[in-house]
Amino acid sequence: MGSKSQRSRLSGDSAVTVAGGALCCVALLAGVWLADAGAGGSRQSVAAEALSVTVGVLGVGYYLIRRSEANRRESESQFHTLADNIPQLAWMARPDGHIYWYNRRWYEYTGTTLATQEGWRWESVHDPDELPKVLAGWQASIATGEPFDMVFPLRGADGSFRPFLTRVMPVKDTANRVTHWFGTNTDISEQQDRAEELRSLAGELSEADRRKDEFLATLAHELRNPLAPIRNGLHILRESEGATKAGRTLAMMDRQLSHMVRLVDDLLDASRISRGKIALSTGRLELRAMIEAAAEDARPLVEKAGHELAVALPDAPIYVEGDATRLAQVVTNLLSNSAKYTHAGGRVRLALGRESGHAVVSVRDDGIGIPPAMLGRVFEMFTQVDRELEKTTGGLGIGLSLVKGLVEMHGGTVEARSEGEGRGSEFVVRLPVAASGSPRAEFSARPSS
């Protein structure tokens, strides 16, 4: 949109063009007149004809100018209607940054008029502390012809400041010269308020999570304290007179106590991992020996559930850098998970291999499977695929979470696979193979408990 002087120039240029055309017609007809005169023609009739054509050309030019002005006014009216009804504040400036027009939203928000804002007087509604940065950015855009983009506060009619996202685009001609600037200011106060609320909520959730971890650690320690004397008491009873009569009861108590110890140990480990309190005792490990030892530790649990456990190991040794006890815990937890979620008479297969510089440990079963929606969540704390089954077999839903945490601490990954419910499942652990020059700290026949 142009100013009054620009509109005047447009009308003047059109008039000059039409007048020039008329003069050309006169000159052309004058030549014809001279030729006709030389041939004995009537000079008066030729002059009349020239005048008639000139008037006709001027009339057409005047009509074109009026139509062009009407079209321009209609376009300006449509632009003003649109610009006044957008939610943003909007304005236009000359190439040198002089603002000559604002939309209605600008005046409503700032409580100003064009007389008080034209040119560079818009500085009056800016925060004085932010103004130098705004001016520097705006002047840089004017100098380079590049768009301007910045967030800064603007003062409203009530005197309060609100944050606005300001974007200014250059309008260029065919020669790539800036003819105008068109700018908008979008109020983002609500977005910033919501972002602040989300940050506050995230802080509260983080604090609640920290307190939860502390509670789990305290709970696990408090539960573990009485377990040692209870186990010692069971041992004394088993060795005392009359133990034969109470043998079945003592065995049941021992099984339940062992189960409680495992739950408490899982709670302790989960708390330590979430707080970064676990320290690994790493060394160069030969995985075949570790896998065999872990399988033997888990075999009674698997076979007690009525399953068949098969172990497949490679002929060549595979070495990794890791903590023998913690990696054995990973394998035992995966075998325990498969035994729990496989119906009696199932098959559980433990395999070790090497693939693309990684040792690959796989535990596969033909159990109840994992729904597709749960594949990405099975490693989350307290997640249980089948809660009814969990109630009958026991567990807190933290075993796989421990697996993921321990594997990642070794620089590896773990993945759950399943074709769906009733189709079994497979858990695949990948660990980086140790460099051939790593110092030896060979894994012994059985990991420490």
Query: pLDDT per residue over 233-282, tens digit each?
Result: 777 777 765 556 566 666 667 666 766 776 677 777 776 777 667 778 88
Q: Which of 310, 335, 321, 333 is nearest to 286 (CA)?
A: 321
Structure tokens at 141: 């855009």
DSSP state of 372: G
pTM to 2 decimal places: 0.48
DSSP secondary-structure letter at 373? G
The pLDDT tens digits of the residues spanning 316-368 come to: 999 999 988 889 989 998 998 899 889 888 999 999 999 989 999 999 999 99
- Give pLDDT tens digits for 114-171: 999 999 999 999 999 999 999 999 999 999 999 999 999 999 999 999 999 999 999 9
Q: Between 147 and 56, name the one with better pLDDT.
A: 147
Give the highest mean pLDDT range of 85-89, 395-399, 444-448.
85-89
User: Concatenated DSSP letters for 107-173?
Assistant: HHHH---HHHHTBTGGGGGB-TTTHHHHHHHHHHHHHHT--EEEEEEEE-TTS-EEEEEEEEEEEE-
Neighbouring CB atoms inside 10 A of 154's CB total: 21
- What average pLDDT score do residues 215-236 get? 70
Higher pLDDT, 258 or 448: 258
Q: Locate 404 and state its tokens.
A: 């993921």
Ranking 29-43, 63-77, 191-205, 325-339 by mean pLDDT, the lowest is: 29-43
pLDDT at 396: 60
Answer whether residue 44 shows pLDDT above 70.
no
Q: Distance between CA 360 and CA 417 in Å, rounded?
A: 14
Of residues 388 and 152, more confidence is placed in 152
Contact 411, 359 (CB under 8 A): no
Q: What is the pLDDT of residue 28?
A: 47
Q: Which of 190, 147, 197 is nearest to 172 (CA)?
A: 147
Identify the pLDDT of residue 447: 39
d(CA 185, CA 106): 9
Q: Is the pLDDT of residue 445 over 80?
A: no
Query: Is the confidence at residue 431, as pLDDT, over 90?
Result: yes
Q: What is the pLDDT of residue 224?
A: 67
CA atoms within 13 A on the CB side of 424: 10
Confidence at residue 33, expressed as pLDDT on a 0 to 100 scale? 45
- DSSP assignment string, 396-422: -S-HHHHHHHHHHHTT-EEEEE-SSTT
Kindly indicate the confidence band of residue 68, based on its pLDDT and cuts at 50, 70 and 90.
low
| Long-range pairs for 102-105: beta carbons < 8 A, 24 or more residues apart | none
Neighbours of 421 (CB within 10 A): 14
Please list, in sequence order, all residues whose beta carbon lies within 8 angstroms of the beta carbon of residue 253, skipping any fewer than 6 positions away.
234
pLDDT in tens, 17-28: 544 544 444 444
CB-based burial, 359-398: b 16+ in 10 Å, e otherwise: bbbbbbbbbbbbeeebbeebbebeebbbeeeeeeeebebb
Question: Environment class of residue 308 by beta-carbon count within 10 Å: exposed (0-12), middle (13-18) or buried (19+)?
Answer: exposed
Nearest of 133, 170, 174 to residue 150 by alpha carbon: 133
